[in-house]
Amino acid sequence: MNGRVFFCNWINLLTVLSLTIGSIAVADELNALYSIKQIDAQSLQLEAPILPDISKYDAQWIPQQVPSIRKGRISTPVMHKEPSLLKFLENDQMRKWVKKQSRLPLAIKLESGRITLPMLLKLVDNPTLLSQEENIYTLHVPLVIDTGATLIIQGNEVNALRLSEEGGAFIVNIGDIFFLDTELTSWNHELQSPSPFSGKKHFRPFYLAWNNSKSYFSNTDVVSLGYASSKSYGFSLSYNHKLTEAGYPDVRPIGWLFDSRFIDMYYGFYSYEADDVVILRNTYIDNIVYGIDPHDRSNRLIIAYNEAYGTKEKHGIIISREVNDSWVFNNFSHHNNGSGFMIDRSSVRNIFAHNLSIENGDDGFAVYESPDNLLWSNKALNNKRHGVQIRNSTDIRVYNNVLADNHKYGVFGHIKVEFPEYRDLELDPFIADVSITVASTKLLSNHTGAIAIDAPYEIQLYDLDLRFPYKQKGTYFRGVLDTYHNVLFDILYRQRGAVAVIPITAEKAQAIEGGI
């Protein structure tokens, strides 16, 4: 048997055994499987990552993209005859829209042209579909911006666009849309306020951009959108394979979201197979499930200089399921119920740099089932669990970070082989291994210790600041590192060297197996 495969199987066996025979006995066996090796510190040197140049994306960039006006054409199709709306008629949902409109449900479709919202109002000329009171506009039915069409909504003409909850209004964009210096909000006519969140399945209006769309949002408040229905999460950019089959362009959606606020959203941001999106200088406030959540094969994203706080259920900023080659930097995530930042489900080659994660209900940073990621020069302070948690992820580099006063460990790495039934391991496969490099990092006053690693394939340590232990007795290392304090301190502090904790040979592992 290949030694590597044998070793992984052996570690998985020990992890399962720990559930039944007690952590102390298994820890003894794990320690027997590792050795300490001094390595060349130069091999752990790493240049600062190159981050995207965002200097062109100033406050004037989006206004400069607004095109000249061109006469438009609209129609008011029945919903079931509009391909971009068929997603929302699945599973017998037609009844919902019939009930809301008290008729065969209609939509407004901007078929062509580049027009403003006041121009659209004149073209529609039906206050039961789109109405106006002073500079506040209310959409009462779904609105579709078709491929090749552009809708421009600017604060000098529109104080707010309200999406009627009672009417079942929402926006589907397959063209271009601009929101500048204004507000997009749900609206409950009975309460005369944005639609409150009253349960995951209770309809709230939403914004969705499909294939070939471009979404430009600048200095705009986006308020109280979304609920727990597919593609209806609040603010979403999503590729739709069925639209491509129907003849729509095979181009992924893209968006530029600058200097805006996203408040009380089900998801502040969600994407599915969207590329090159730029999320810059926004604030995500009191959202329900996530602040920012790009998902499923979204690539080359820039998420920078945002603030996310008050997320009620989960995390401030998360990338999940094959979100690759992206940059998350200079963000501030705090006081969220879950983690400040998370990398999840086979998301690889991402850089998280210069972020600040404070007082979150879970970890400062979490990396789950996602190899080959870099955490560079971040700060995780006073989070309820770990500064950095790494699970089932290899080649995770933790460099130049400050991890202080977190309620558990500064860095915690482990494998997990049992998952709840709802986790689809065919859709989200992983390897039960952990390998981590922690270098040039301050691990200060974390409550249960600096670093704890259970069953790593490899861990490399160099240039660590372990001052100011939370406990007087100084608890620095746990897991497989627990019995190696003296050796580790000798290499790391007295010799100013680098150390690798590595598994012993398969032959020795077999000998241990034979002795059980």
Residues facing residue 153 across a β-bridge: 179
Instruction: Supply the DSSP symbol for 491.
Output: I
* 8 Å CB contact between 460 and 39: yes
Question: Between helices 506-515 and 3-21, what is the axis angle to 10°?
Answer: 40
Average pLDDT over the chain reads 90
The tens digit of pLDDT for each residue in 113-166 reads: 999 999 999 999 999 999 999 999 999 999 999 999 999 999 999 999 999 999
Question: pLDDT at position 320, please?
Answer: 97
| Residues contacting residue 109 through CB under 8 Å, at least 6 positions apart | 74, 75, 76, 77, 82, 143, 144, 146
The tens digit of pLDDT for each residue in 274-326 reads: 999 999 999 999 999 999 999 999 999 999 999 999 999 999 999 999 999 99
Question: pLDDT at position 33, please?
Answer: 77
Given the residues 295, 334, 354, 386, the one annotated as active site: 295
Told to judge if 241 belongs to the known catalytic residues of this protein, a careful annotator would answer no
Q: How confident is the model at residue 78 (pLDDT cuts 50, 70, 90)?
A: very high
| Segment (H or E) for 268 | strand 267-272
pLDDT value at 75 more than 60: yes
The vertex-60 CA angle with 279 and 280, nearest 5°, equals 15
> Higher pLDDT residue, 410 or 428?
410
Region for 495 from its dihedrals, namely left if φ exceeds 0, alpha if ψ lies in -120 to 50, beta otherwise: alpha
Delineate the domains of the chain, giving CATH numbers in brackets: 70-449 (2.160.20.10)
* 8 Å CB contact between 442 and 426: no
